[in-house]
Structure formats: structure tokens, C-alpha cells
Amino acid sequence: MWIVPESAIPGLVDEQSAFDAIEATFAAMSRGDAYNFPVVREALGEGRQYGFKSGLDRVGALLGVKAGGYFPGNAERGIPNHQSTVYLFDPDSGKPTAMVGGNLLTALRTAAASAISIKHLARQDAKVLGMVGAGHQSAFQMRAAVRQRRFEKVVGWNFHPEMLSRLADTAAELGLPFEAVSLDDLGAQADVIITITSSFDPIVMDAQVRPGTHLACMGTDTKGKQEVEAALLGRATVFTDEVAQSISIGEAQHAVASGLLSESAIAEIGAVINGAHPGRQSAEEITLFDGTGVGLQDLAVASAAVDLAIAKGLAQEVDF
Ligand code: NAD
């Protein structure tokens, strides 16, 4: 089996290869060629979460699991709050084929998911990107998003204003002006809004969002988390990576529970990629992507990393 350590990932998988792998995965899920197994997620106390995301892609020949979680004390230790490792297996024999560092890959595959939603659902003339959240993932989200439209400006808001410098620095790296704004201003200016926080209460309210906006809600991946007011999902056309996760651990859990949104109204982004769903149908429509994060995303980017690592001589082979 191959081992690809975390330290090798930065030189291997870039934004484009992550985007391509995840777009193909969402398409395979929607065709029925690939599916995710039920998520196991446990609260360990003191805000720590640990779990397993896994799945099978029959056509892409992927079987595996990402083991990992969220450890909020890690930032003080100088390591990312998310810690994860991906294990790949041969779908025919069950033999392990690879162990891959999953931290950077998680950020890249999550950013790729929201970028895919922007590619397929945002208005073509989108100019202002609104960022809600300024944690570890936010920089990856911004970098992937700006590749999809000709954004001219980034506006941002964060619950902890002292973290906003990450958004300012990332916008500067991308050559875009950045403005820290109120949530009212953010909604008034942004054509695309990405939410990437660990909030358990709605941050973006329905009345703050203009017609025509596209939202990628990426932070809610656990029961109880919430980033936008449930009424907004009642007003928007809602898309997701996987409907089962969207209604149980995703942003849609609240709107579905309160009867503002029906499960049958939620479309898979893969259906849009495959051309089975038209996606955005007017310039006034609000589109909302509920990106819950599925195991197959992790397997797809890990598999790409293994192929690239073998080609570049960066993978270690062990007899297992
Ligand atoms: P982080 O700890 O680095 O940053 C946390 C962010 O949430 C910061 O912007 C912080 O200010 C904000 N925040 C914290 N408490 C808040 C509160 N009470 N109200 C509002 N905002 C609050 O985390 P990160 O690595 O950037 O991840 C952000 C979120 O994205 C997490 O919830 C994580 O679980 C989620 N995530 C989702 C996926 C997916 O596939 N959907 C993948 C990775 C991470």
C-alpha cells in the first residue's frame, strides 16, 4: 500500500485538480454510480467532534473512509482544527491501497464544492463576493471561488472581527480589494455569498439577501449547526451535494424540520452538472448550495493525490 503524508500534499493537488475530481464525483453520485455510506459523527466533549465519512464509487473504483474531526483547541497548538486521514481500499478485494494525509485535501475538496456551485449556479455577471467566516477554510474558499467569475471586490464579515485580516490578506494575494462590512451591507453588495463558520445560530437573515444572489453554505456539517435563517431556504432554490446529508446534518435540516422546505424540493448539484436539472432559471432567482461534505469527495481527492505522488516519486510503498 502507498503512504502519502500530509507534508507531500501541497505540491500535488492544486485547486484545478481538486475541482475536476469533485465535479466528476458529484456527477457520478447523481448518475447512481457512486454513493456515500451513513456518516458516523460523535461529540467527544469540549467542542471536539470525531467521525467517519465513507463511500463507494463503482465506476471510479474508489472505496474508502476518511477518519477525522474537529478539535477547536488545535489552533493554540499551532496545528489546524481539522485533523483527518483518508484510507483507500481495493473495491474488489478490500485490501488497503493507500493512507493519505487529509487535512489540506479537506480544505481543497470543500472549497472545490462551493466553487462548483458558483460555476453552475451563480449569475454570470456576479462581481462582488461576500465572505461570512474567516477561519482556516475561508482562504481556500475565496481562492477557489474567484476562479469561477470575474469578481471585482470581496466583502467580508466575521463573528470574531480580529480574524478578518485573513480575508483581507487572501483578497490582497488575489489582487482584489477587500472591505469589512456589516451583514446588512454584505447582503446588499454581494452577488455570491459563501458562509464558512462553525455557528449554531443563523447569521445571514432572509431579509438581508437580494434576489439573484447565489449562496454556498459550507459550514453546517453537523446536527444543530446553522448559518442562515431557515426562511431563506424557503425562498431560494436549494441544491446540495447529497440530499440525505442536507436534511440531517446540513443547512437544510432546520428549514425541513420547520416545514419551510420539503425534501423533494432539494436538488443534487450533480444533476445540474449532468444536465438533468436546469440549475438557475432566472436572474432574480436565489440559489443556495448546501455543501455538507461527503465521503466520496475525500476519496476522490485522496485518489488523485496518490496518483500524483506515485508519478512524482513522493509516495512511500509499504508491504501491508
Ligand atoms: P475555524 O475554527 O478555523 O474557524 C471557525 C469560524 O467560525 C471562524 O470564522 C469563527 O469566527 C466562526 N465562529 C466561531 N464561533 C462562531 C459563532 N458562535 N457564531 C458565528 N461564527 C462563529 O474553522 P474552519 O476550519 O474554518 O471551519 C469552519 C466550519 O466549516 C466548521 O464548522 C467546519 O466544521 C466546517 N467545515 C465544513 C466542511 C464541509 O464539507 N461542508 C468541510 C470542512 C469544514
Which of the following is catalytic: 66, 153, 223, 225?
66
Q: Does 19 lie in the same domain as 72?
A: yes
Q: Does 204 lie in the same domain as 156?
A: yes
114 in any annotated domain: no
* Ligand 1, atom nearest to 72 Cα: 2
111 in any annotated domain: no
Q: Does 194 lie in the same domain as 287?
A: yes
* Ligand 1, atom nearest to 134 Cα: 9
The CATH number assigned to the domain holding 208 equals 3.40.50.720
3-state SS, residue 224: coil
Grid cell, residue 88, equals 483507500
Domain that holds residue 101: 2-106+296-317
pLDDT of residue 41: 87
Tell me how many helices (H) and strands (E) the chain has. Answer: 11, 16
Amino acid at position 231, single letter: A
- Kindly state if the Cβ of 49 falls inside 6 Å of ligand 1: no
Q: Does 46 lie in the same domain as 163?
A: no
Mutate to test the pocket of ligand 1, among 79, 104, 197 (most ligand atoms within 8 A of CB): 197
Give 269's Cβ-side CA count (13 Å radius).
30
Q: Does 205 lie in the same domain as 89?
A: no
113 in any annotated domain: no
Mutate to test the pocket of ligand 1, among 198, 225, 245, 249 (most ligand atoms within 8 A of CB): 198
pLDDT of residue 184: 98
pLDDT of residue 222: 87
Sequence-ordered list of residues with C-beta below 8 angstroms from that of 184, at least 6 positions apart, any chain: 208
Residue 167 alpha carbon to ligand 1 centre in Å: 14
* Run of H or E residues at 106: helix 103-121
311 in any annotated domain: yes
Could you say which residues of the chain have pLDDT below 50? none
Residue 47 alpha carbon to ligand 1 centre in Å: 12
266, 217 contact by CB (below 8 A):
no
Residue 90 alpha carbon to ligand 1 centre in Å: 33
Grid cell, residue 33, equals 454510480
Residue 72 alpha carbon to ligand 1 centre in Å: 10
Q: Does 61 lie in the same domain as 127?
A: no
135 in any annotated domain: yes
Q: Does 231 lie in the same domain as 186?
A: yes
Sequence-ordered list of residues with C-beta below 8 angstroms from that of 82, at least 6 positions apart, any chain: 68, 69, 70, 71, 103, 106, 107, 136
- Active-site annotation holds for 127: no
Q: Does 148 lie in the same domain as 39?
A: no
Q: How far is CA 79 from CA 76, 159, 197, in A?
A: 8, 21, 18
Q: Does 71 lie in the same domain as 16?
A: yes
Q: Does 268 lie in the same domain as 221?
A: yes
The CATH number assigned to the domain holding 45 equals 3.30.1780.10
177 in any annotated domain: yes
250 in any annotated domain: yes
* Ligand 1, atom nearest to 160 Cα: 11
206, 227 contact by CB (below 8 A):
no
Q: How far is CA 225 from CA 15, 35, 197, 198, 252, in A?
A: 27, 24, 9, 7, 10
Take atom 36 of ligand 1 and give the residue whose Cα is closest: 219
pLDDT of residue 70: 86
Q: Does 224 lie in the same domain as 136?
A: yes
Q: Does 56 lie in the same domain as 132?
A: no
Take atom 6 of ligand 1 and give the residue whose Cα is closest: 197
The structural domain count of the chain equals: 2
What is the distance in angstroms between the CA of the first residue and the CA of the last residue of the chain? 6
141 in any annotated domain: yes
- Kindly state if the Cβ of 143 falls inside 6 Å of ligand 1: no
Residue 278 alpha carbon to ligand 1 centre in Å: 31
